[in-house]
């Protein structure tokens, strides 16, 4: 059990927790009190939770967020989503083989009264946007209710162990997401007008302007809000390829949940599809958890994420293959191999370029879709509705906080007639924080001095970030024009070697070069926070430049870990003068981890790839009806059952539209499917609260 749990982490503290026993298919296992069933199964090396009724395919974790039912199990006789149901002492858990059996019907069933609550503002989602909005509302004493389906506030912030970009003043730049979540949660608790319902799922916004909510999976409540703020975040997109439903193929968010929330080591060898910030950050989180990252593929000619993220990953020894895509994931009941290939400018695979790698997990990180159902439902009901964060527009969490801040003030003005104008620089900062990466150019190492001590900047791209400027006590660092988007420069040569800029840089793109002791072999200070190996004085490391290219081997002469460093360690090495300024990091991952194996395993039959995971509908079935002229997704659903499953088209809806585009059909010609009346499923027992609680 301990081998599959994270016992040591460079950033996260490992809490002491009480163990409980539970049963999996009659086998007694150990778990930690309060953890989800899915996480407990993963900790015990169990990744297959059952088999599909249609084709007996293995079923396992997919979203880890309650959005689908791939992880369904039977707990104490009741079918549940294992990623959203906590394990209990002596709980009897069984795999779902086919269709689960419904519990016996209850005689003389009685509904209990439904609790109703009124509030000025209902905030759906307790992530960075929702919390930032609630802080503005709380400051003005406006009655606000935050509803979130997790057991703590923060949304995806609680999964982020890396430092954030942006500015310190506006969005806690240089602070880790997990710490920002705590800050926002503590701030919210100071406002008596703001109430929080955790473990609570919004079901629907009804036409009578009421919102149905299930709390703790056992009580149904109705909320009457004057205004609704949709800050529900986003869900991950997926891809169509053979093997895309194998256990071991899931989204980066699911992986981060297992690793950074539940402290589970769900993989030994990981491969990532998608070079945006989500995929690059997931690779970093894997390395922090001592998981090998075999590689990353990105279909575009360059990574879509920040270049400093990509460079940081490459310096640590992870290869990134641009203009590449996944062909297939292969294995019996779990991922064992992945085959990738190069793509041309039209994103078509190039025969003869295939390579196969050993891995046990494939992360799909190809973008996000806003969770905007509540916005549309509220509009149809005639409720005043606002949106913020990813539910409004996909961007970084720093932008989501500012988006929520603005939405909070806009709502306050709507409710109270507040005449105070929102400062124009707020809108400007919000736009800046969501800016895509700008101009990229190589570092100009000749511009840095060759004497005394100096910071060296290895960031190559214009992105919204300036914490290094804010923390420098001597004003050594500046950004031209005082812009968040500019690249830092040396303003004056008065560096005192405090390392504050090295500690705080979110991209680990600053080194400190000290010529004072030995000008020919200066000391280079580098940021480090990955415990694949706990480096100490005397260890040898392979130094790399900013892109991960090897420079030479060097010996560590010292390490520094300060309390104020937010757990970032400084590793010091001596390097020859001619390369000292080019040293940006050192490799931690063995090269053999990243090498391909044997003859490529190629599967070029995309018609066999699954589009609808829940109903096991293939791309070939969908294509057949597209080619017959079908243009209505309701008809497609009726004929093929695609979209009829538990997730309600959350995953396959986009994939079906992708197939229409592949067949040359504009999506404007495709009639959308009818949206399911409830956003997510709930046990019928929650509508009879008293009886349900008594029985369970």
Query: Is residue 51 included in any domain, yes or no?
Result: yes
**What is the number of other CB atoms lying within 10 angstroms of the CB of residue 186?**
10
> Which of 62, 139, 53 lies closest to 101, judged by CA?
53
pLDDT score, position 533: 66
* CATH code of the domain containing 376: 3.50.50.60
Q: In this predicted model, what pLDDT tens digit does every residue of 450-466 receive, in sequence order?
A: 999 999 999 999 999 99
Helix (H, G, I), strand (E, B) or coil at 490: strand
Query: Is residue 249 included in any domain, yes or no?
Result: no
Q: Which of 27-41, 351-365, 586-600, 677-691 is the least confident region?
A: 677-691
Number of structural domains found in the chain:
4
- 207 with 61, same domain? no
Paired tokens of 504:
């705080």
With beta carbons less than 8 A apart as the criterion, state whether 353 and 321 touch. Answer: no
- 227 with 150, same domain? yes
E strand spans, 231-336 = 234-236, 249-251, 269-273, 292-298, 320-322, 324-330
- 564 with 618, same domain? no
- 623 with 670, same domain? yes
Q: In this predicted model, what pLDDT tens digit does every residue of 492-534 receive, in sequence order?
A: 999 999 999 999 999 999 999 999 999 999 999 999 998 756 7
- 119 with 101, same domain? no
Is the pLDDT score of 605 beyond 60? no
- 106 with 119, same domain? no
CA distance 86 to 418: 44
* CATH code of the domain containing 33: 3.10.20.440
77-92 in b/e form (b: 16+ CB < 10 A) is: eebbbbbbbbbbeebe
pLDDT score, position 532: 58
What's the pLDDT band for 695 if we cut at 50, 70, 90? very low
* CATH code of the domain containing 660: 1.10.10
pLDDT score, position 416: 85
- 189 with 158, same domain? yes
With beta carbons less than 8 A apart as the criterion, state whether 230 and 384 touch. Answer: no
- 138 with 102, same domain? no
- 523 with 550, same domain? yes
* pTM confidence score: 0.92
Instruction: Among 58, 90, 110, give the residue marking a domain's end.
Output: 110
Q: In this predicted model, what pLDDT tens digit does every residue of 531-572 receive, in sequence order?
A: 756 788 999 999 999 999 999 999 999 998 877 667 899 999
- 364-393: average pLDDT: 92
Neighbouring-strand partners of residue 73: 80, 95
Query: Is residue 302 included in any domain, yes or no?
Result: no
- 554 with 644, same domain? no
Q: Which residue range forms the structural domain that includes residue 413?
A: 115-234+371-433
Question: DSSP state, 108?
Answer: T
Residues across the chain: 696
Query: Is residue 186 included in any domain, yes or no?
Result: yes
- 548 with 579, same domain? yes
Q: In this predicted model, what pLDDT tens digit does every residue of 236-262 receive, in sequence order?
A: 999 999 999 999 999 999 999 999 999
Instruction: Among 88, 110, 132, give the residue marking a domain's end.
Output: 110
What's the pLDDT band for 1 if we cut at 50, 70, 90? very low
- 278-307: average pLDDT: 95
Q: What angle do CA 276, 284, 44 make, to 5 degrees?
A: 115
What's the pLDDT band for 607 if we cut at 50, 70, 90? confident
CA distance 399 to 450: 38
Is the pLDDT score of 603 beyond 70? no
Strand order through the sheet with 355-358: 324-330, 337-342, 355-358
Beta strand pairing call for 337-342 and 234-236: unpaired
**What is the number of other CB atoms lying within 10 angstroms of the CB of residue 2?**
9
Is the pLDDT score of 692 beyond 50? no
Higher per-residue pLDDT: 587 or 170: 587
Query: Is residue 143 included in any domain, yes or no?
Result: yes
Q: Which of 245-259, 265-279, 329-343, 431-445 is the least confident region?
A: 431-445
- 416 with 463, same domain? no
């Amino acid at each position: 059990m301990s081998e599959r749990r994270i016992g040591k982490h460079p950033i996260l503290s490992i809490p002491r927790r009480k163990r409980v026993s539970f049963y999996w298919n009659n086998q007694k296992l150990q778990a930690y009190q309060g953890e989800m069933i899915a996480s407990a199964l993963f900790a015990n090396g169990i990744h297959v939770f059952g088999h599909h009724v249609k084709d007996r395919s293995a079923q396992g974790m997919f979203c880890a967020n309650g959005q689908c039912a791939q992880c369904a199990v039977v707990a104490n006789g009741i079918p549940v989503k294992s990623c959203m149901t906590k394990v209990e002492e002596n709980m009897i858990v069984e795999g779902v083989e086919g269709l689960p059996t419904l519990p016996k019907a209850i005689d003389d069933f009685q509904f209990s009264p439904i609790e109703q609550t009124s509030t000025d503002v209902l905030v759906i989602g307790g992530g960075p946007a929702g919390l930032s909005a609630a802080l503005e509302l709380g400051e003005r004493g406006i009655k606000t209710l935050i509803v979130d389906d997790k057991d703590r506030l923060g949304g995806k912030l609680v999964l982020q162990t890396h430092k954030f970009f942006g500015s310190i003043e506006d969005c806690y730049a240089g602070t880790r997401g997990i710490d920002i979540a705590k800050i926002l949660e503590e701030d919210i608790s100071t406002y008596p007008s703001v109430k929080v319902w955790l473990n609570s799922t919004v079901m629907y916004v009804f036409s009578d302007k009421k919102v149905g909510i299930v709390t703790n999976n056992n009580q149904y409540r109705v909320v009457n809000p004057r205004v609704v703020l949709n800050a529900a975040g986003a869900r991950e997109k997926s891809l169509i390829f053979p093997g895309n439903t194998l256990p071991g193929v899931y989204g980066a968010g699911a992986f981060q949940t297992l690793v950074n929330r539940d402290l589970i080591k769900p993989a030994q060898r990981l491969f990532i599809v998608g070079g945006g910030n989500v995929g690059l950050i997931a690779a970093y989180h894997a390395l922090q958890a001592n998981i090998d990252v075999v590689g990353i593929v990105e279909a575009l000619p360059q990574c879509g994420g920040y270049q400093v993220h990509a460079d940081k990953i490459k310096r640590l020894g992870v290869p990134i293959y641009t203009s590449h895509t996944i062909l297939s994931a292969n294995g019996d009941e779990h991922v064992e191999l992945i085959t990738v290939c190069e793509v041309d400018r039209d994103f078509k695979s190039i025969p003869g370029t295939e390579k196969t790698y050993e891995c046990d997990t494939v992360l799909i990180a190809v973008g996000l879709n806003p969770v905007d159902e509540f916005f549309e439902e509220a509009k149809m009901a005639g409720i005043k509705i606002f949106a913020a964060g990813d539910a409004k527009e996909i961007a970084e969490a720093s932008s989501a906080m500012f988006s929520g801040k603005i939405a909070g003030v806009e709502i306050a003005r709507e409710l109270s007639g507040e005449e105070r104008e929102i400062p124009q620089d707020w809108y400007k900062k919000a736009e800046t924080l969501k800016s895509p990466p700008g101009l990229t150019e190589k570092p100009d190492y000749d511009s840095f001095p060759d004497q005394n001590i100096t910071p060296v900047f290895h960031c190559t791209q214009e992105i919204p970030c300036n914490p290094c400027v804010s923390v420098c006590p001597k004003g050594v660092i500046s950004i031209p024009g005082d812009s968040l988007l500019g690249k830092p420069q040396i303003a004056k040569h008065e560096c005192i070697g405090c390392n504050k800029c090295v500690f705080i840089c979110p991209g680990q793109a600053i080194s400190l070069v000290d010529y004072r002791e030995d000008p020919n072999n200066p000391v280079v200070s580098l940021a480090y926070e990955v415990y694949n190996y706990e480096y100490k004085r005397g260890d040898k490391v392979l130094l790399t430049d900013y892109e991960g290219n090897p420079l030479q081997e060097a010996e560590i002469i010292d390490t520094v870990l300060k309390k104020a460093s937010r757990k970032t360690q400084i590793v010091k090495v001596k390097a020859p003068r001619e390369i000292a300024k080019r040293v940006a990091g050192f490799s931690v991952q063995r090269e053999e981890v990243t090498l391909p194996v044997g003859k490529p395993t190629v599967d070029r039959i995309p018609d066999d790839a699954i589009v609808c995971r829940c109903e096991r509908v293939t791309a070939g079935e969908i294509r057949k009806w597209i080619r017959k002229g079908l243009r209505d997704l309701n008809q497609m659903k009726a004929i093929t059952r695609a979209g009829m499953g538990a997730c309600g088209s959350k995953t396959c809806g986009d994939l079906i539209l992708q197939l229409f585009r592949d067949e040359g059909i504009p999506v404007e010609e495709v009639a959308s499917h009818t949206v399911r009346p409830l956003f997510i499923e709930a046990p019928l027992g929650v509508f009879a609260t008293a009886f349900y609680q008594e029985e369970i």
